[in-house]
Structure 1
Amino acid sequence: MSSRTMQHGNLRMSLPEGWSDATQIVAVGPMEKGFRSSLAVSSEPSAPRESLERHAARVLPMLHKVTEQFQLVSEGPATFGTQSGFLREYTHVARGVKLAQLQFYVMSGGLVHTFTYTQLAERMAMSRPTAEKLFASVLLGNAPVATPMSPRVRPKGVHFRFMRSIAA
């Protein structure tokens, strides 16, 4: 599939010159204390010769700019299921609510796919296994599918030098 073609499920579209796939697929979890965790997926063409680490570094200032009270918790290389990528965890405030997000960046077929899991900050530690299972189930290209029964996958090499305590 060319970078001018987008696909989601059985939908496939050719895009005009200058357009790119900005698909947002959102899955939501069950309602817990008035909040639903969510997973959003977006894809964008990768910059020439840009690594995932450089891509993550390039988008970091934008996260600071577009989120209120942004606080980086950790970031670094990670593997979930068959996908190796770059994982970033951070907190921010939206509409007066403190949220935590895990962003897993994966490069495939000339695209950077960003999987963003969002949860209430005080519940992230408890729901992290759900995010990890979602990330481990990602299938890009012809990679084998990870099943829900796969053992829990832990990030490899995540750097916690940015670890800060998250106040509830």
Structure 2
Amino acid sequence: MPSIDDLSARYGDCYRKVERVEIDPERFEKGVARGDDGGWGVGALVVHDGRGLFVREGETWLLPGGRLEAAETPEAGARREIHEETGLDIDIVGLGAIAEQTFVRRDSNASYEFRFVTFVARPTEPRSVLRSGPTDPAIDAVEWFSSVPEHTFDRDLVRRLFGTYV
């Protein structure tokens, strides 16, 4: 996995968000069990015709993405995740944001770090946007929006990206 500085150098400046988040012990243990300690996630704001692509899990809208797999580049991971969740193939056109989060267990100060890279992308074949739909059973819906929907995870960050790229 390249460093955050390597990604920034390759794509140029992007929005960087660094935060420390206190979480309850149960949620902390779930993260550790998933192997989030030092983990990376990747995804993309996929843009087409003045709209962005979102997936919904339960009541929450998200940009499509997920965990980076071993020996996978961030770009390859983002392409794989978008295809798995939406059925679309994408071209990455830039780097939108890097979020660095330190999760701290509320009762002990134990912590783990997680980084999420959000690329900016477009569908490889514009006609394919009509065929997009959930292909992952964890995804309840895939939709294109001209503005950021309510109940979007990390809505401030996504609104910032939308304002820049959509």
Name whichever structure is richer in strand by fraction.
Answer: 1
Whether these two folds match at TM > 0.5 is no
Name whichever structure is richer in helix by fraction.
Answer: 2
TM-score where L is the length of structure 2: 0.32
Which structure would you say has the larger RCO, counting Cα contacts within 8 Å and 6 or more residues apart? 2
TM-score where L is the length of structure 1: 0.32
